[in-house]
Amino acid sequence: MKLARYKDADGTHFGLVANDKIHRLTFDGSAQALIAAWDTMQSDCAAALEGDGQALSAVALLAPVPRPGKVFAIGLNYADHIEESGMDSPSEQIWFTKAVTSVNGPFDPILIPKVSQTVDYEAEMVAIIGKKGKNLAEEDVAGHIFGYCVGNDVTERMWQHRTPQWSLGKSFDTHAPIGPWITTADEIEDPHGLDIRCAVNGEIRQSSNTKHLVFNVWQQISQLSQAMTLEPGDLIFTGTPSGVGAAMDPMVFLQDGDVLVTEIEKLGRIEGHLTNES
């Protein structure tokens, strides 16, 4: 199934996307609560899909999890991106956080902050935790994933590299667009074989496949769970391939008016228009 959060004339709702229509779910609670209760919602889902639904084009899609408990992202996790960064392949997973306030809708504007003009893109597949877990073995991770969506780890490069810790440069408002919906894990037989692309103003900048992850999704989530309890709705950004603007010669950063499109096979596309912060 494809679970979306959307807004129409009647307010904000959750719904299921099918055949270019969205079918409203009757659920009064947070995205985290819905994900945690998903196993008990199957009859409600079936009933919703039997209805006529609304045209998808008639609603505004929102971030499917607007305020997750945690947002973690892994660095240097595609071999080609490691090469273009001029760094050695890491022997250990490199993790950083993105502030939950950086989460942005799939088609909302992406802000170029007042304090700097070195905003870059990083197309990423995002895994969404479905069940609470701690100290997960790799072979058990799949059962704790609710689904996957398209994301972009938008990064303010000057702020990223001014200190050894990357989190500030990764956490500006609007710099974690996700969506357009969550494709539930039962529809993705293996997340390690999906084409991933990113384009700026129609020019393809990143083009790869999730089979090239250095540390796969099971390894990533198992590692994180050794340190902390993962909970429904937590977002895991799984890494970006080569082609980022900071690796170009000369470097090319996003500018006011640019259109950033991120697409992942079977998961959909998101589109953000770059806008100077007022």
Given a contact cutoff of 8 angstroms between Cβ atoms, the answer to whether 56 and 22 are in contact is yes
Given a contact cutoff of 8 angstroms between Cβ atoms, the answer to whether 209 and 104 are in contact is no
Q: How many CA atoms lie within 13 A of 170 on its CB side?
A: 21
SS3 of residue 199 by DSSP: strand
SS3 of residue 235 by DSSP: strand
Q: What is the pTM of this model?
A: 0.97
The type of residue at 92 is E
Cα separation, 25 vs 197, in Å, equals: 31
Cα separation, 30 vs 270, in Å, equals: 22
Provide φ and ψ at 139, rounded to 5°: -70, -10
CATH 2.60.40 fits 2-62, yes or no: no
CB atoms < 10 A from the CB of 19, how many? 8
Cα separation, 204 vs 201, in Å, equals: 8
CATH H-level superfamily of 71-276? Fumarylacetoacetase-like, C-terminal domain (3.90.850.10)
Location of structure tokens 């596309």? 269
pLDDT by residue for the chain (278 residues), tens only, comes to 999 999 999 999 999 999 999 999 999 999 999 999 999 999 999 999 999 999 999 999 999 999 999 999 999 999 888 888 777 788 999 999 999 999 999 999 999 999 989 999 999 999 999 999 999 999 999 999 999 999 999 999 999 999 999 999 999 999 999 999 999 999 999 999 999 999 999 999 999 999 999 999 999 999 999 999 999 999 999 999 999 999 999 999 999 999 999 999 999 999 999 999 99
What pLDDT, on a 0 to 100 scale, did the predictor assign at position 88? 78
Going by C-alpha positions, the residue among 151, 72, 93, 124 that lies closest to residue 239 is: 124
Same fold for the domain at 2-62 and the one at 71-276? no
- Helix and strand tally (H, E) in the chain? 5, 19
What pLDDT, on a 0 to 100 scale, did the predictor assign at position 82? 83
2-8 and 176-184 beta bridge pairing: antiparallel
Cα separation, 214 vs 276, in Å, equals: 35
Structural domain spans, the chain: 2-62, 71-276
